[in-house]
Amino acid sequence: MDEKAKKLIAEAKESIESAMSLQGLEEVRVKYLGKKGEITQALRSLSKYPQEERPAIGRYLNEARETVEGMIEKRRGEIAAIELEMRLKAEEVDVTLPGKRPSIGARHPISVVYEELELIFGHMGFQVYEGPDVELDYNNFEALNVPRNHPSRDIQDTFYISQDLVLRTHTTCVDIRIMKAQKPPIRAIIPGKVYRFDAVDPSHLPVFHQLDGLVVDEGITFGDVKGVLARFAREFFGPDTEVRFRPSYFPFTEPSAEMDVSCVLCHGSGCRLCKYTGWLEILGSGLLHPKVLKEVGFDPEDVSGLAFGMGVDRVSVLKYGIEDIRLLVENDMAFNLQFIHA
């Protein structure tokens, strides 16, 4: 039996040293030490030997098992070291190679337009103000001469949080906050998101961006409305841009007017974009209604004011020739990258 144990150890040693991977080594372990392995089976067959020989045979076989186990553990460490060295060589970094250029983000067209609008109106002395998205019904409607029974207050048009709180439907509501907080002269622009029950289509979104303007001072006339907005249009759309004003109605201004600009695509000759009229509607404007001035504690006999409001999404679409307004909210990097240098 001593010779048989030595033979098992020699065969196992040769197999262990030939194993070049952990998987191959595991196969060797199973062959000799597994449930059906050669050494395991030899130990289980001790009952076949005479009673007096069993202790010696068992000792030889147990020593053989321990020897093989030791060789396997030693070889496992050697193989692990070899595999680690090979992996490190494969993953070796050449520090002399140029680094990977990081992905460059893109400015969103709305951000680009907001910055340009703030710059244009800043040159005319306007300051930027902000207000909360969740607004008092009073500031959003009542203080702006929009009574309780006005159609724009219908629940189908406005997101009501409670009877007295709404998601603002325009940034004009911040005008009330500004006029109650400071005395004339006031020159303010208010950028921000607004919320309405609009169906999503190529020209409408339920959440969009506005920029409102407010001027309150002595002697403000409709001539100031035309002067401020004509200058804005020519700086924003180009020096050859023509403007026109059409009578309109807004509860918080009197008189009120819509402002059109000559088509940015056909320059007034008529095309599909302007529906062959040569003009594009971009904003509403007017002189502050006397009731609004009284509501904030101003005397209409002493001061007057002007207000205007535009959809920033709309002017962005027109400025950059974007065919579908939904592209502004889809977060498509291929689309946004067009404005990386804007």
Mean pLDDT, range 33-51, rounded to an integer: 77
State the distance between the two ends of the chain, measured CA to CA, in whole angstroms.
89
- 57 pLDDT higher than 80: no
Tokens 């970094």 identify what position?
93
Closest CA to 12 of 47, 63, 52: 63
pLDDT for residue 2: 58
Query: Which of 8-17, 111-120, 271-280 is predicted with the least confidence, judged by mean pLDDT?
Result: 8-17
The tokens describing 307, both together, are 């207000």
Summarised one tens digit per residue, pLDDT across range 251-261 is 999 999 999 99
172, HSE (Cβ side, Cα atoms, 13 Å): 27
pLDDT for residue 65: 79
- Residue 92 and residue 88: Cα distance in Å, rounded? 6
Does residue 282 contact residue 253 with C-beta atoms inside 8 Å?
Answer: no
- 176 pLDDT higher than 90: yes
Summarised one tens digit per residue, pLDDT across range 142-173 is 999 988 777 766 655 788 899 889 999 999 99
Mean pLDDT, range 76-91, rounded to an integer: 84
What are the angstrom distances between the C-alpha of 303 and each of 42, 217, 253, 287, 327?
A: 111, 5, 14, 11, 43
pLDDT for residue 99: 79
- Residue 3 and residue 13: Cα distance in Å, rounded? 15
- Residue 259 and residue 318: Cα distance in Å, rounded? 14
What are the angstrom distances between the C-alpha of 12 and each of 59, 75, 108, 290?
A: 18, 12, 69, 104
Q: What is the amino acid identity at position 60?
A: Y
- 80 pLDDT higher than 70: yes
Does residue 205 contact residue 325 with C-beta atoms inside 8 Å?
Answer: yes
pLDDT for residue 154: 66
pLDDT for residue 156: 54
Summarised one tens digit per residue, pLDDT across range 194-230 is 998 877 887 778 899 999 999 999 999 999 999 999 9
Give the Cβ contact number of residue 41 at 10 Å.
12
* Residue 160 DSSP code: B
Mean pLDDT, range 81-87, rounded to an integer: 85
Flag whether the pTM goes above 0.75: no
- Residue 288 and residue 56: Cα distance in Å, rounded? 113
How far is C-alpha 143 from the geometric centre of its chain's CA atoms?
35
pLDDT range class, residue 44, cuts 50, 70, 90? confident
- Residue 123 and residue 131: Cα distance in Å, rounded? 22
Closest CA to 189 of 74, 60, 70, 310: 310
